[in-house]
Amino acid sequence: MNAETASYRFAPSGPLRGATAVPGDKSISHRSLILGACAVGETRIAGLLEGQDVLATAAAMRAMGADVERLGEGEWRVHGLGIGGLLQPEAAIDCGNSGTSARLLMGLVASHGITTSFVGDASLSKRPMGRVIEPLSLMGASFTPSPGGRFPLMLEGAHPAVPISYRLPVASAQVKSAVLLAGLNTPGITTVIEPVPTRDHSERMLRGFGAQLEVAEEDGARVIRLTGQTDLQPQDIVVPGDPSSAAFFMVAATLVEGSDLTIRNVGMNPTRAGVVGVLRAMGANIEEIDAREVGGEPVADLRVRHAPLTGIAVDPTVAPSMIDEFPVLFVAAALAQGTTVTRGLEELRVKESDRLATMAAALEAVGARVEENEDGLTIHGTGGEPLRGSANARVKTHLDHRIAMSMAVAGLVSRDGVEVDDTSPIATSFPNFMPLLDEVTR
């Protein structure tokens, strides 16, 4: 683990070539540990992302009594306790930088007779938790949050909890998943109504573990009904490569002339893969090879060849399917011909950092022309000319891994390189990002 800050200058690079594979999907990794811990018996996981965020979830499941063991690289074994079997942890649950650990674990604990505090780093302690406190309180859990509904907070679970029918006020898979996980140990049917679809890994995996879960389309919304307190069956899970991590390489290979890079085994779940469509609409050359299904999730190899990009107006309705990819899309837009307009991205202001403000400042520092609006950025691209910032500009990442990696990509297509103030947050989601980037640009 990288506890210290580490600045780094990402230099202009030659073409990205050959084949690579990114680590396992972060969302699926969290969920496999959590559901494994709720099943009776042994779940095996291959390709687990061993980033700090997922390790925080693993530590929390251990602290609540599950037997979670690392067998080898990405190979893990979870011996579950069964629904309702979680135990009182002895210390606070430390979620580090991870919003997913925070929201999902709060949901899980909310329907157990457990009282515990939740803590996180400076970034997580600024993020809104009211969005999960509200539905979980309706289910009977009690919360003592810090001012503004934030971490650190104390949670007293409800046992038994009360099933609710909850319409999501924000398009958030974390909120949806928190309510569904609370529903696992709640008698009766817990219902989540999703007016705007978000990533559906929880639903897919709950089904895979044998949960009684139904999804219907009603009045234009997705309605998810989960019957609580039925046993989960342990599974063998193969985690696909994370499309959000692959996106950095998709954009880098698209931007750097002469690139021809294959990224193997990328998760292509339609609720996640929006960035591929948007990049293609801008002119990117991304070919899907050997599209297949692995463990209930669509997967493909992606061959990405350099192509000039043209700015577009990004349809706001695609936002949930690429919510974590906007920082790197902004870098693509900064090198495109013409103007890219993004809207409907208020959620980016409450991620690991305020990603609209952070990316606007970072791109400006490296010479891009950016206008920041309340709900999006408008970016006037260079038409492929390298970014030319002041030579000693240093980009601020604000404890946000995706800002660090996006600006690393900007460095590859800059005249003088891009200095990132702190690369240590990269370890939360993509610990081997820098060696992989080195490997494919060598």
Question: Contact positions toward ligand S3P, by CB under 6 A?
Answer: 27, 100, 172-174, 177, 198-199, 323-324, 347
Q: Which helix (H) or strand (E) holds 189?
A: strand 189-194
Residue 114 or residue 132: which is nearer to ligand S3P going by CB? 132
What is the number of helices (H) and of strands (E) in the chain?
12, 22
Q: Whose CB is nearest to ligand S3P?
A: 27
Residue 58 or residue 323: which is nearer to ligand S3P going by CB? 323
Residue 125 or residue 339: which is nearer to ligand S3P going by CB? 125
Q: Considering 324, 400, 416, 422, which one is annotated as catalytic?
A: 324
Angle at CA 268, nearest 5°, toward 267 and 272?
95
318-329: burial string, b at 16+ Cβ within 10 Å, e else:
bbbbbbbbbbbb
**Nearest distance, CB of residue 125 and ligand S3P, angstroms:** 16
Residue 177 or residue 423: which is nearer to ligand S3P going by CB? 177
3-state secondary structure of 110: helix
**Nearest distance, CB of residue 278 and ligand S3P, angstroms:** 16
**Nearest distance, CB of residue 29 and ligand S3P, angstroms:** 9
**Nearest distance, CB of residue 199 and ligand S3P, angstroms:** 6
Cα–Cα distance for residue pair 181/415, rounded to 1 Å: 48
Nearest to 198, CA basis, from 179, 220, 224, 171: 171
Token pair in block for residue 165: 């029918």
**Nearest distance, CB of residue 173 and ligand S3P, angstroms:** 4
324 is known as an active-site residue: yes
Residue 100 or residue 190: which is nearer to ligand S3P going by CB? 100
Cα–Cα distance for residue pair 441/14, rounded to 1 Å: 6
Q: How far is CA 206 from CA 34, 43, 58, 213, 400, in A?
A: 11, 13, 18, 7, 30
Q: How far is CA 425 from the centre of its chain?
A: 14
3-state secondary structure of 342: coil
Catalytic residues: 324
